[in-house]
Amino acid sequence: MDVPSASLPARPYPEAADRAAASVPRLLPLTKVLYGVGEISNSIKTFTFGLFLLFYYTSVLGLPGTLVGAATSISLIWDALLDPLIGHVSDRFRSRYGRRHPFMFVGAILMGVSFFLIFNPPAGLAGAALFAWLLGSNILLRTTNSLFMVPYHALGAELSEDYYERTSITGVRAAFALGGTLIAAGLSFAVFFPETTPGVDPKFNSAGYGRMALVFGAAIMATGLIATLATLRARLHAPAGAEFPAALTSRAGFWQNLLVALRNRTFLVLTLASALFFLGSVVNATLAIHYLTYYARIADSKALSLFQLSFYVGALIGVAFWLRNLRRFAKHHLFIANTLLLAVLMGMAYFLVGEGRLLGVGDVRPLILVNTIGGFFASALWIVPASMVADVADVDELLTGRRREGAFFGIHSFFMQEGASLAVLAAGFLIDVFARLVPGQIEQSALTVGRIGMLFGLLPAAIYCVAAALMARYTLTPARLHAVQDQLHRQRAEGQRARG
């Protein structure tokens, strides 16, 4: 749910789509925009968690990284299992306010509250008690996030029945997701961690995290409620005659679809390669503050804000570029090339930066440049895998006669979430066992500092190389896909003629 997607479906039946569009009432532009505002809540949560949680609980509060990783991983696994259940229940829910909105209303309020609780544990908590607080508040946040986000995304498909307007709704939502991330990145260091005492790193002051949690928690709640209330009258109930087969919505159906999807070798290669890329990216993002603080020796809050903003500025430029130029590349070749280029950039973050190295420490400018370039190349990997899943669904339809994009996208999303869970668990464990970080201590040994650099740069680089090598086994070339789609179009046309 936390990774952006911008793949556009093919247009196999333009005449039918145009006829349908003519009969569907247009959604008011303001309603569409206010609906998109809801995505800000998830983007703020995702950015803040990925950047601050591990550092705050290990270096500020003194909890071992292994326990932080375990608490986060347990909550992510809970989230992955909960999403299908909430979707199943909201599909069938009936109330005077419709199916989705009661869940969204409760979820938006409690999501803001639980976000605040995570970064405001009671004073004096330590050890097992602090771990219990982190685990409980994390599970509460994941539960309330699912209560809001699962019905919210389902509502997006129900706001309009027009083929093209649905794409527009998705685009608006993606724009607000990126906007929310840029706002969080810009405010996080400069506003909440200002340098008030020379020589004292404000990131080690727990008060800054409390202020951040209060403001961001309120923003999460407000943006979620705006989207809920603005769409309250847009779609209250399921379309007449809609059916929800148990095989598509039950947990048993999920595992059945998982087995079917994983028998598809092309899909398996794609999903594992994508999950590895996501795993490496989450490891890198989770350890970013450790790297900047201990290895690169960047303490200035404005410099840290610019560093974080630079990645998303590069990504914004990249999304615009790749959407215009994707047709020039084979998708799996683009995945391989960009993944390897990112591996090189990760290696540079270790080999060129640090005490005694070419770029030394304390200078954020080369890191901003590398981060901007990284955002540009990484943005293609937000777009391409989702498009490739749709391609695999075409092959599956040709082989089975069934259209199952939902199953394939659901399984793909499940693996991304589990990749994130493993990444956070691994980052927390390795920063304890491999880097030997002393929790709650500002100064760390040279051994620890060097190994933090390795975990931030070399570990993701190695994972990216494995992902690229795996993607080299992907066999659905553009020529083969075109042949599959031509055959599908013939089959569909024959089926339409047979039905009269």
Q: Is the pLDDT of residue 267 over 50?
A: yes
In a shared domain, residues 134 and 220:
yes
Q: What is the pLDDT of residue 296?
A: 95
Amino acid at 416: M
The answer to whether residue 481 is domain-embedded is yes
Two structure tokens written together for 54: 């591990």
User: Mean per-residue pLDDT for 17-23?
Assistant: 41
The answer to whether residue 17 is domain-embedded is no
User: Degrees (nearest 5) of the Cα angle 273, 176, 34?
Assistant: 135
Q: Is the pLDDT of residue 61 over 50?
A: yes
Domain total of the chain? 2
In a shared domain, residues 225 and 121:
yes
In a shared domain, residues 199 and 300:
no
User: Mean per-residue pLDDT for 150-159?
Assistant: 76
- The domain of 115 spans 27-236
Q: Quickly tell me which residue has 């066992």 as its tokens.
A: 433
Q: What is the pLDDT of residue 231?
A: 86
- Write the DSSP symbol of residue 263: T
Angle between helices 65-92 and 127-158 (to 10 degrees): 30
In a shared domain, residues 229 and 363:
no
In a shared domain, residues 137 and 282:
no
* Residues with Cβ within 8 Å of residue 79, at least 6 apart in sequence: 142, 143, 145, 146, 417
The phi, psi pair for 125, rounded to 5°, reads: -70, 140
Q: What is the pLDDT of residue 21?
A: 41
Q: How far apart are CA 4 and CA 10, in angstroms?
A: 19
If 0-12 CB within 10 Å is exposed, 13-18 middle and 19+ buried, where does residue 77 land?
A: middle
User: Degrees (nearest 5) of the Cα angle 229, 233, 237?
Assistant: 115
In a shared domain, residues 232 and 313:
no
* CATH code for the domain in which residue 228 is found: 1.20.1250.20
User: Mean per-residue pLDDT for 144-164?
Assistant: 76
- CB-CB contact of 418 with 77 (8 Å): yes
pLDDT higher at 69 or 160: 69
The answer to whether residue 171 is domain-embedded is yes
In a shared domain, residues 258 and 232:
no
Q: Is the pLDDT of residue 162 over 80?
A: no
The answer to whether residue 14 is domain-embedded is no
Which of 202, 236, 270 terminates a domain? The answer is 236
Highest mean pLDDT: which of 161-170, 463-472, 488-497? 463-472
The answer to whether residue 244 is domain-embedded is no
Which of 213, 236, 259 terminates a domain? The answer is 236
In a shared domain, residues 420 and 338:
yes
The answer to whether residue 8 is domain-embedded is no
The answer to whether residue 15 is domain-embedded is no
Per-residue confidence at 156, pLDDT binned at 50, 70, 90? confident
How remote is the C-alpha of 103 from its chain's centroid?
21
In a shared domain, residues 174 and 287:
no
* Residues with Cβ within 8 Å of residue 239, at least 6 apart in sequence: 158, 161
Q: What is the pLDDT of residue 79?
A: 84
* Lowest-pLDDT range of 170-174, 198-202, 238-242: 238-242
Q: Is the pLDDT of residue 481 over 50?
A: yes
Per-residue confidence at 248, pLDDT binned at 50, 70, 90? very low
In a shared domain, residues 262 and 231:
no
Q: Is the pLDDT of residue 65 over 90?
A: yes
Per residue in 419-466, pLDDT (tens digit) is 888 898 899 999 999 999 998 888 899 999 999 999 999 999 999 999
pLDDT higher at 235 or 231: 231
Q: How far apart are CA 272 and CA 210, in angstroms?
A: 38
Q: What percent of the chain has pLDDT over 70?
A: 84
Q: Is the pLDDT of residue 7 over 60?
A: no
User: Mean per-residue pLDDT for 38-43?
Assistant: 92
In a shared domain, residues 223 and 270:
no
The answer to whether residue 6 is domain-embedded is no
Which of 189, 213, 236 terminates a domain? The answer is 236
In a shared domain, residues 306 and 367:
yes
Question: What is the b/e burial string over 410-445, where b = at least 16 CB atoms within 10 angstroms of the residue's CB?
Answer: bbbbbbbbbbbbbbbbbbbbbbbeebebbbeeeebe
Highest mean pLDDT: which of 78-92, 130-144, 318-332, 375-389? 130-144
Q: How far apart are CA 311 and CA 341, in angstroms?
A: 15
* Lowest-pLDDT range of 8-17, 117-126, 335-344: 8-17
